[in-house]
Amino acid sequence: MDSKGKDIPSIEQWLKEAKSDTKALQEGMYLIHNGVVRQTPKAMVRQGIDDGSKVKGMEFSYNAEKVDKAIAEAYNMEGIFHIKVWLNKGILNVGDDIMYVLIGGDIRPHVVDALQFLVDKIKTECVTEIEYK
């Protein structure tokens, strides 16, 4: 996992590295997730609770050991050969990048499932997000 605070990674470079890896010959698909701080509160998006507030920013942190464990679990999924994760940290503003996740694998269903699994695991078990309204 890469963690460089606000140093945003180059997705182009990530893909270049992934495609130059020896396992790339087995990969037929790459998916990228880019999580961004949004103005709409999490409670509104996830639970339909509208208190009329808007998010102005968030404090974001994560447990690196848990993230590494989640990555290892995703690598154990069928057809997955490449994973790269970057998480931001600190005080973030609306529009700032929260995370990037790159998954490379053999076929679309395997890669889609792995991306869904890993992003969900990171969001529910590895990070702390405190919204500021």
* Per-residue pLDDT reduced to its tens digit, 95-109: 999 999 999 999 999
Determine whether 29 is exposed, middle or buried from the number of CB atoms within 10 Å of its CB (0-12, 13-18, 19+): middle
Tokens at 42, concatenated: 């999490």
Q: The domain 11-132: what is its CATH number? A: 3.90.1170.40
**Integer Cα distance of 99 and 33 in angstroms:** 8
pLDDT (0 to 100) of residue 3: 46
What is the radius of gyration, based on Cα positions, of the chain?
Answer: 16
What would the mean pLDDT of 82-105 be, rounded to a whole number?
A: 97
pLDDT of residue 52: 80
Q: What mean pLDDT value characterizes the chain?
A: 92
Judge contact between 39 and 86, C-beta under 8 A: no
> Largest Cα–Cα distance of the chain, in whole Å?
51
